[in-house]
Amino acid sequence: MIGSNKKNLLLMVSGSIAAYKSCELISTWRQAGHAVRVMTTPSAENFIGMATLEGLSGHPVLNDTFASGQAMAHIDWVRWADVIVLCPATANRLTALYQGRADDLVGTALLAAEPGLPIAVIPAMNTRMWHHPTVQTAVNGLKQRGIAVMPPSSGALACGETGEGRLPAIADVLDFVEKRYLNPAGKRILITAGGTTETIDAVRVLTNRSSGRTGAALADHLAAAGHQVTLLRAQTAARPRWPVAEITFTDFANLHNRLQQQLKQHAFDVVIHAAAISDYSLQALCVDGESAMPAGQHGKLDSEASQLSIHLKRNPKLVDAIKGWSCCRATQLVAFKLTACHDPAKQHAAVKKLLRRSGADWVVHNDQIEIDAGDHVFRLYDKNTALVAECGHVTDLAETLMNVCVPPGQPTDSSIPSEATHDFVS
């Protein structure tokens, strides 16, 4: 650190035609009082002059692992850095970072970075490259490690095509880095999403229709607004587009353990509990009147049996335990309630019961009958069961939640690791 709000920024530039745009990053950061140093890949020299980068940063540019007198400079520089920004990041650089390749100076330096050092990656490439399965695997893998990957923009590309892959506007890149690492004023938010799956045998499960799309969309919207988001989602649930810390779960017991662990270890300002959790778990199985293997054990039940009986056991309500598990007393809880009836009085009674039982600060209500009819309305109630807002789209819900639950301000005064230091599980 070079001051209370001033940071040491290590900019890494790879060989993209958009490399020249990195000059504006350097200039803006230095004008704001941050210190900037630059490393480049060998191919970057084909797109931008080293003298330009040196003049703007005020430091020599590192681009050769074996340069005389600089054999250990790449290690020293990553130790110096508060934040690493890889911009632009080509398809090759993304996959190299994911695979841990150290075949040039930038790759070697990234492997020498301390665990938990914030890294922001700003991709720029042809749209087919961006959507290539290898690149998408790398992007998803980097997100799992807590590395922030900014979604590229759509528009005209240097190759003459139009599509996703364009380097985002530099103003947006600056905002992306600013909100996460240079002046973080966002809240720490935990979102649960998707449905649990209860194992019957090696190939069969009991689950529900939850896609997790609402939770993923909320995570995207809140992360884009600069909040530190952790998404605890089902393995099969929709994934967010913006970089957030992702942790996956399978069945009720798995979600129970991971939710409790997160709440006890990390001080979240807000918990948005949108997961669709099974009310029951499997206890025993009977095939043609005879006890079968215990539920969840490996093996496949005989499909020729004429009768299969599944015995269930009641699961406790996880939402009721969230505030008790939280290590932060000020944690606000947003619970979700799904009903399936046309009667507004019964809907309101269900919301009131959830508020009373869980101690939630807010409840988001929707109704399955309305959803099936194509009218997916999110109704937000406060702890006094007063209707605060009706939202016709998840983005409207996210905006409303930001206004009433996570308004601008400093995070709760409790220690929490940065986004990159969570334990990521897939």
| Alpha carbon of residue 341 to chain centroid | 34
Q: Which ranges of 18-66 does DSSP label H, i.e. alpha helix?
A: 22-31, 50-57
Q: Is 230 within 8 Å of 245 (Cβ atoms)?
A: yes
Distance CA 158, CA 145 (A): 31
Query: Residue 184: how many CA atoms within 13 Å on its side-chain side?
Result: 17
Q: Strand ranges (DSSP E) for 250-291? A: 270-273, 280-287, 290-291
Q: Is 327 a catalytic residue?
A: no
- Distances in whole angstroms, Cα of residue 93 to Cα of each of 46, 108, 374: 16, 12, 43
Give the dihedral sign, CA 325/330/336/337. Answer: positive
Active-site choice (87, 159, 328, 405): 159
**Alpha-carbon dihedral 152, 158, 161, 167, rounded to 10 degrees:** 10
Angstrom distance (rounded) from CA 52 to CA 227:
34
Active site residues: 159
